[in-house]
Chains A and B, each alone.
Chain A
Amino acid sequence: MVVDDTEALKLSVHGMDDRSINTFYLFLQELCQNEGVLVSDQSAQVSVIDLDAMHGGDIVAQQKKVYPHRPIIALSLATPKEQDLIHVRKPIQASEMLAAFTKVRQVLSRNLNLESENKSDGDSDIDSPIVVQRNIKSLSQVHKAAHTTAMQLDEQAYSSFVGGVRDIDPSDPEQVELAHYDSQKYLQAYVQSAMKLAVSKNRILRLHCGWKPITIFPHAREVWVDSDDKQLRAFCVVPIKSVSAIDVGGTCKASKIRVTSVDLSQESGSHDPSRFQSMDALLWKLALWTSNGRIPAGVRLDQPVFLRHWPNLSRLVVIPHALRIASVMVGQPKTLLEIANALQIPQQYVFSFFSAAWALGLAGPVKRQSDGLVHAATAIPAHKEQGGLLQRIISRLRIK
């Protein structure tokens, strides 16, 4: 088995300050034709260590301890004593770095061959489990796709993006029932499970659910799906077991829902970088669409809820009043209806926010010790003096 030499090597860097890292990044991009890309230590295939840095030797020892099979490229003025390091002499030349990369690939291929000889498959819920490499053109391209700034929706845009429901009367049991949805019936739940599995197995997995497959890259916490938001939304609001031959712009047929392992080296073509997105961003959107202004089954309207911490809203779809809802929800537990009343906003925004945060594992109902703990929330008045000023700042910031 050989490591695909058309794929960029994933490098983690050590012993460099931030300016050096930036310079090295540009060096890889401009002079090394993106043969190597910078990633986190956890995701790297090879460690690049500035041996001349203070404690350079300690860094090498530590890397060997944590990643005993990972090749190390050592950058230094003098030849290192250790024979097992791949040395690149300073000042670094592109040709020498590329030669080092070739040596790294040979080492990785040897390691893969050894691994496949020793490997035993104990997973019954995944087909053909093989650890694979990710096929990306360059880190900057992917992360441009993945790390887009949040889309901030006003009420009209929310309606187009998510849909909408009216406020419910909590004293009407029928309306209360309609305000709930069972996420287990929808794509959202399957994606959540597949993501959990990918992260726990630390393998790239593909979810097949009768529509376009969703590929999960747990190392980078990203997903790839060949679909735009319109198509995704159309599919995720349909109960999954009802999917038969719905045409949502791709080939689709009724099939058993399954998760498979992915061997990118066996696949033709590369992944369009613009279709990558972060796991959280996708799950958040799926939850917003699936919820459509409702709350997950099992969460009572009279039950106070918590928000562990603010979601990373700069990388998520920001629905109307999200910032206000988050600000209230991270405080004392309140029921969802109390939050809507206190902020004087339609319930659907609170319900949607809660459902999306719940999907990310950030929110949930609390168990209260007595019914006396929670008091009816009154509207939250803006502090008049500073409130006028803060309001004007908000207005200024929101002008595009």
Chain B
Amino acid sequence: MISQIKFAFKYALGLDRAGNRFTVFPDDTFLVSYPKSGNTWVRFLLANLIYPDEVVGFANINRLLPSPDVLSRRFLRKLPRPRILKSHEPYDRRYRKVLYLVRDPRDVVVSEYHFNLKKRYINPDVSLEEFGQRFLQGETSSYGSWWEHAASWIAARQGNPAFLLVRYEDLLADSIGETRKIAKFLGIPAEEERLRAAVERSSANRMRELEKKQADQWTGTKNTRLEIPFVREAKSGGWKEALPAPLAEQIEAAWAPLMKVLGYELQCRQKEEIALPAWVRSPHLPQVQRSR
């Protein structure tokens, strides 16, 4: 009863956590991705790009590139507009302008496994294999499965001028080029100098240093197992060593069509003909590189 009254007041004052209950404005832009797909990295890139005079770190990233999941509705309402917000939500019709970041699910599962250990969401004796089974069913995240997340966004919005699809892998391979593309999409001024500085200030090394100093000041790392780093390998293709072969095979069997569309090379089913979903045949797909 007391907690309910407290909530009533919090809600009235707009101090409850926003989650997806906040008001979306037509000029909002969202940085959306499935969890563990490089979202924090891109948040740093954007924050460094937009606020070149700030020292961007874990301590202030929630303020610079806010996440409705951990902030109050009032805080979000008072932000200067247009806002750029971070989100892990699967397709949400209210989001008009969306930068969608996607990553190879075989790398995502490895990253999510370590993050879950770090957060103590799973016991230390849970194996990657076991975790992977739940990952495939979409049970490790409240945002649905990787497939559901990526397919709902890409199918609904690919080809829409207010939707930009960026692969984590491309961002790694050509950080400056991809950041330039993102800056253009967001309408942020991006001279070479500024781009280069933003990429350097968001490098894995620098983020690791910042994590060491500020891990207790960020919701993502506070009260977690500090011996497991948040900024881990920061590379792509790590799954080739880390992922048990049967699990990799299962992921490919389950999600092949979408992985193929996104240019993620399949190891196990290359020879089989895969029925591609409609948006692949659509003329709206110039942004996606189909092979690398």
Q: Do A and B come from one complex?
A: no
A-binding residues in B (CB < 8 A): none
The residues of A with any CB-CB pair to B shorter than 8 Å are none
